[in-house]
Amino acid sequence: MLINNLRYVKELSDFILDKCDDTEDSKGNFEVITDKSINLENILIIKVDYFLQKKIHPNPKAPDCLIIQRCAENEFDIYVVELKDVKRPRKINKKDVREKFTNCYELFIKKEFKEYFYSDKIKIRNIKLWLVADPHNIREYPQREHYNKVTEFDMLLEQVTIKYFNKSIRIKRYHQNPTIKDCSKMRAS
Protein backbone atom coordinates (compact mmCIF):
# COMPACT_ATOMS: atom_id res chain seq x y z
CA MET A 1 0.00 0.00 0.00
CA LEU A 2 2.61 2.64 1.04
CA ILE A 3 5.04 1.71 -1.72
CA ASN A 4 2.36 1.42 -4.40
CA ASN A 5 0.76 4.71 -3.40
CA LEU A 6 4.05 6.63 -3.41
CA ARG A 7 5.24 4.99 -6.63
CA TYR A 8 2.36 6.65 -8.49
CA VAL A 9 2.64 10.14 -7.02
CA LYS A 10 3.32 12.26 -10.10
CA GLU A 11 5.62 14.77 -8.37
CA LEU A 12 7.84 11.89 -7.16
CA SER A 13 8.18 10.12 -10.50
CA ASP A 14 11.46 11.85 -11.46
CA PHE A 15 12.99 10.96 -8.09
CA ILE A 16 12.30 7.23 -7.94
CA LEU A 17 15.45 5.21 -8.62
CA ASP A 18 16.55 1.63 -9.17
CA LYS A 19 19.38 1.96 -6.65
CA CYS A 20 20.79 4.30 -4.05
CA ASP A 21 24.32 5.31 -5.02
CA ASP A 22 26.53 8.36 -5.40
CA THR A 23 27.38 8.04 -9.09
CA GLU A 24 25.99 11.49 -9.93
CA ASP A 25 27.84 13.25 -7.11
CA SER A 26 31.31 11.69 -7.32
CA LYS A 27 33.20 8.67 -8.57
CA GLY A 28 30.45 6.26 -7.56
CA ASN A 29 32.22 4.96 -4.49
CA PHE A 30 29.20 4.03 -2.39
CA GLU A 31 25.88 2.35 -2.83
CA VAL A 32 23.28 0.51 -0.82
CA ILE A 33 22.96 -3.07 -1.98
CA THR A 34 19.58 -4.77 -2.05
CA ASP A 35 19.70 -8.47 -1.23
CA LYS A 36 18.93 -10.47 -4.37
CA SER A 37 16.19 -12.41 -2.57
CA ILE A 38 14.03 -9.26 -2.26
CA ASN A 39 11.30 -8.84 -4.82
CA LEU A 40 11.89 -5.42 -6.41
CA GLU A 41 8.18 -4.67 -6.09
CA ASN A 42 8.79 -4.59 -2.33
CA ILE A 43 11.38 -1.80 -2.50
CA LEU A 44 10.98 1.89 -3.29
CA ILE A 45 14.04 4.15 -3.49
CA ILE A 46 13.47 7.90 -3.52
CA LYS A 47 16.21 10.46 -4.18
CA VAL A 48 14.93 12.65 -1.38
CA ASP A 49 17.70 15.28 -1.52
CA TYR A 50 16.89 16.18 -5.13
CA PHE A 51 13.15 16.17 -4.43
CA LEU A 52 13.46 18.57 -1.49
CA GLN A 53 15.92 20.79 -3.34
CA LYS A 54 13.49 21.13 -6.24
CA LYS A 55 10.47 21.66 -3.98
CA ILE A 56 11.76 23.98 -1.23
CA HIS A 57 13.73 27.21 -1.46
CA PRO A 58 16.21 27.92 -0.05
CA ASN A 59 17.41 24.38 -0.63
CA PRO A 60 17.36 22.33 2.57
CA LYS A 61 20.07 19.83 3.41
CA ALA A 62 18.76 16.29 2.95
CA PRO A 63 20.12 12.74 2.82
CA ASP A 64 20.66 11.00 -0.50
CA CYS A 65 17.97 8.35 -0.34
CA LEU A 66 14.85 7.23 1.44
CA ILE A 67 14.32 3.50 0.95
CA ILE A 68 11.06 1.83 1.87
CA GLN A 69 10.82 -1.95 2.06
CA ARG A 70 7.60 -3.95 2.36
CA CYS A 71 8.09 -6.65 5.01
CA ALA A 72 4.56 -8.01 5.28
CA GLU A 73 1.09 -6.89 4.27
CA ASN A 74 1.00 -3.16 5.20
CA GLU A 75 4.21 -3.41 7.27
CA PHE A 76 7.36 -1.56 6.24
CA ASP A 77 10.97 -0.83 7.13
CA ILE A 78 12.45 2.58 6.33
CA TYR A 79 16.11 3.29 5.57
CA VAL A 80 17.34 6.86 5.37
CA VAL A 81 20.78 6.92 3.74
CA GLU A 82 23.48 9.56 3.46
CA LEU A 83 26.44 8.65 1.22
CA LYS A 84 29.62 10.62 1.95
CA ASP A 85 32.80 10.24 -0.10
CA VAL A 86 35.38 11.65 2.31
CA LYS A 87 38.86 10.57 3.33
CA ARG A 88 39.05 12.13 6.81
CA PRO A 89 36.56 12.12 9.72
CA ARG A 90 36.81 15.90 10.13
CA LYS A 91 35.37 16.28 6.62
CA ILE A 92 32.05 14.97 7.96
CA ASN A 93 30.15 17.71 9.71
CA LYS A 94 28.01 16.00 12.34
CA LYS A 95 25.67 19.00 12.53
CA ASP A 96 25.02 18.76 8.77
CA VAL A 97 24.44 15.01 8.98
CA ARG A 98 21.92 15.50 11.79
CA GLU A 99 20.19 18.27 9.84
CA LYS A 100 19.92 16.08 6.74
CA PHE A 101 18.30 13.18 8.62
CA THR A 102 15.99 15.56 10.51
CA ASN A 103 14.90 17.31 7.31
CA CYS A 104 14.04 14.00 5.68
CA TYR A 105 11.60 13.28 8.46
CA GLU A 106 10.28 16.79 9.09
CA LEU A 107 10.03 18.03 5.50
CA PHE A 108 9.52 14.89 3.42
CA ILE A 109 7.76 12.33 5.62
CA LYS A 110 5.86 14.57 8.03
CA LYS A 111 5.07 17.51 5.78
CA GLU A 112 5.03 16.58 2.08
CA PHE A 113 3.77 12.98 2.40
CA LYS A 114 2.17 12.81 5.83
CA GLU A 115 -1.03 11.22 4.51
CA TYR A 116 0.97 8.23 3.25
CA PHE A 117 3.31 7.67 6.18
CA TYR A 118 0.82 8.40 8.96
CA SER A 119 -1.97 6.21 7.71
CA ASP A 120 -3.55 3.95 10.33
CA LYS A 121 -3.58 1.26 7.63
CA ILE A 122 0.20 0.80 7.71
CA LYS A 123 2.82 -0.05 10.31
CA ILE A 124 6.40 1.20 10.23
CA ARG A 125 8.33 -1.68 11.81
CA ASN A 126 11.91 -0.43 11.76
CA ILE A 127 13.65 2.82 10.93
CA LYS A 128 17.35 2.84 10.12
CA LEU A 129 19.52 5.90 9.62
CA TRP A 130 22.68 5.00 7.72
CA LEU A 131 25.73 7.13 7.08
CA VAL A 132 27.84 5.34 4.48
CA ALA A 133 31.33 6.82 4.63
CA ASP A 134 34.89 5.60 4.81
CA PRO A 135 36.67 8.48 6.54
CA HIS A 136 39.70 6.30 7.35
CA ASN A 137 39.98 5.00 3.77
CA ILE A 138 39.79 1.37 4.94
CA ARG A 139 38.61 0.13 1.55
CA GLU A 140 41.83 1.34 -0.12
CA TYR A 141 44.10 0.48 2.80
CA PRO A 142 42.82 -2.73 4.45
CA GLN A 143 45.67 -2.63 6.95
CA ARG A 144 43.70 0.19 8.59
CA GLU A 145 40.93 -2.27 9.49
CA HIS A 146 41.52 -1.46 13.15
CA TYR A 147 39.77 1.85 12.41
CA ASN A 148 36.63 -0.12 11.77
CA LYS A 149 36.36 -0.64 15.49
CA VAL A 150 34.60 2.05 17.43
CA THR A 151 36.40 5.32 16.79
CA GLU A 152 35.96 8.68 18.48
CA PHE A 153 34.02 9.78 15.41
CA ASP A 154 31.64 6.83 15.76
CA MET A 155 31.17 7.48 19.48
CA LEU A 156 30.22 11.08 18.73
CA LEU A 157 27.91 9.94 15.96
CA GLU A 158 26.26 7.40 18.29
CA GLN A 159 25.33 10.23 20.63
CA VAL A 160 23.20 11.77 17.91
CA THR A 161 19.60 10.64 18.07
CA ILE A 162 16.86 11.81 15.78
CA LYS A 163 13.13 11.43 16.34
CA TYR A 164 11.21 9.48 13.70
CA PHE A 165 7.62 8.50 14.46
CA ASN A 166 8.17 9.25 18.18
CA LYS A 167 11.17 6.92 18.34
CA SER A 168 14.72 8.07 19.05
CA ILE A 169 16.91 6.61 16.31
CA ARG A 170 20.70 6.53 16.28
CA ILE A 171 22.75 6.95 13.14
CA LYS A 172 24.84 3.94 12.17
CA ARG A 173 27.96 4.36 10.04
CA TYR A 174 29.14 1.85 7.45
CA HIS A 175 32.52 2.01 5.73
CA GLN A 176 31.50 -0.62 3.18
CA ASN A 177 28.37 -0.71 1.07
CA PRO A 178 25.59 -1.93 3.38
CA THR A 179 23.04 -4.50 2.28
CA ILE A 180 19.31 -4.33 2.85
CA LYS A 181 18.21 -7.81 3.92
CA ASP A 182 14.83 -9.34 3.23
CA CYS A 183 12.75 -8.08 6.14
CA SER A 184 9.91 -10.50 5.42
CA LYS A 185 12.09 -13.15 7.07
CA MET A 186 13.01 -11.00 10.08
CA ARG A 187 11.14 -9.83 13.13
CA ALA A 188 10.47 -6.18 13.84
CA SER A 189 12.65 -4.56 16.46
pLDDT, tens digit only, all 189 positions of the chain: 899 999 999 999 999 999 998 876 555 578 899 999 999 999 999 999 999 999 998 889 999 999 999 999 999 999 999 998 776 666 778 889 999 999 999 999 999 999 999 999 999 999 999 998 876 666 666 665 555 555 666 666 667 788 999 999 998 888 778 999 999 877 655
What letter represents residue 159's amino acid?
A: Q
**CA 10 – CA 86 distance, rounded (Å):** 34
- pLDDT recorded at residue 54: 93
- pLDDT recorded at residue 118: 95
Q: Which residues contact 79 (CB under 8 A, 6 or more apart)?
A: 32, 65, 66, 67, 68, 69, 128, 130, 180
- pLDDT recorded at residue 161: 83
Q: Which residues contact 46 (CB under 8 A, 6 or more apart)?
A: 6, 12, 15, 16, 17, 65, 66, 67, 68
